[in-house]
Amino acid sequence: MLTAGGIYWEEHGPADAPAMILSAGLGGSGNYWLPNVKGLAERFRVILYDHRGTGRSDRALPDTVTVDQMGDDLLEVIDALGVPSAIIVGHAAGGVAGLALALKAPERVTCLVLVNAFSKADPHFIRCFETRLALLRNSGPEAYLKAQPLFLYPAVFISQMHEFIAAEEAQHLAHFAGAEAYEKRIAALLAFDVDARLGEVSVPTVAIATEDDMLVPYTCSERLAEGIAGAELAVMRWGGHACNFTDTETFNRLLLEILEN
């Protein structure tokens, strides 16, 4: 389904269950969460959506993209659902979009779960994205996607799942959102900074981090938990940046335990 503003979304699970929106990271595709859906849709009305500029959503982006705009798109999905509020589970870029929405319209966010997210760009994070942008600009999308698993997955996962990752890489290349879209979305993440406003976040919040995240240091999640009043911190020992994908069982169990408490 499409919202009036052109955001693609789909739902899984009971229509009368609490709404849970899963918001993907930089790639923006709701399909990123497909491994998690079965375990979560038993208890929640799970919503997947494609970020604006990616996937099946409107590919047109303004000249300058901001995280606040990403939060507005999340709100558009909540409005399309016809519910007063929803649980937002956001991974990295999806997490900061949820954080922006929680600051703007806290009454629309039942609970905020920030997965390997951040309140401002970390020096390591910046270095990683400068490297990825250099690959995209100088060597093209294929080189950019070839390097992507190095930032998303633990080394042993890449070694054991190399055939799957090669197939995934080919699929991503076939559906690549375009260099301009990635340039704009990365610029939005690098410009994002609500570190001084964390004390204004008033919704129940949990930060989930992975110790071996190669892209966003787990200390960024520690900062979120420290700065947001009453926020919880949960740390997975293994799984890399894409921990919900590399260790779906542990991630789903952790998330459900958090939401049930």
Q: Quick one: CA dihedral 167, 156, 133, 33, positive or negative?
A: positive
CA distance 190 to 63: 16
Strands (E), the chain: 9-12, 19-23, 45-49, 86-91, 109-115, 205-210, 232-236
Asked whether residue 203 is assigned to any structural domain, the reply reads yes
pLDDT in tens, 193-226: 999 999 999 999 999 999 999 999 999 999 999 9
Q: What pLDDT sits at residue 21? A: 98
Q: Is 207 exposed, middle or buried (0-12, 13-18, 19+ CB in 10 A)?
A: buried
Calpha distance 168→240 (Å, rounded) = 17
CA atoms within 13 A on the CB side of 34: 6
Mean pLDDT of the chain: 97
Question: What is the residue-wise DSSP string for 88-99?
Answer: EEEETHHHHHHH
Q: How far is CA 196 from CA 107, 200, 223, 226, in A?
A: 21, 9, 11, 12
4 inside domain: no
Number of domains in the chain: 1
Strands 232-236 and 205-210 come out as parallel
User: Residue 231 pLDDT > 90, yes or no?
Assistant: yes
Q: What is the pLDDT of residues 19-76, one digit of tens each?
A: 999 999 999 999 999 999 999 999 999 999 999 999 999 999 999 999 999 999 999 9
Domain coverage including residue 15 = 9-260
- For the domain that residue 36 is a member of, what is the CATH number? 3.40.50.1820
The CA angle 221-97-25, to the nearest 5 degrees, is 75
Q: Is residue 207 part of a domain?
A: yes
Residue 220 located in a structural domain: yes
Return the pLDDT at 261: 79
The string of pLDDT tens digits covering residues 95-151 is 999 999 999 999 999 999 999 999 999 999 999 999 999 999 999 999 999 999 999
Q: What is the mean pLDDT of residues 223-231?
A: 98
Q: What is the pLDDT of residue 229?
A: 98
Question: Residue 3: inside a domain, yes or no?
Answer: no
Q: What is the CA radius of gyration of the chain?
A: 17
Supply the pLDDT for residue 77: 98
234 is a domain residue: yes
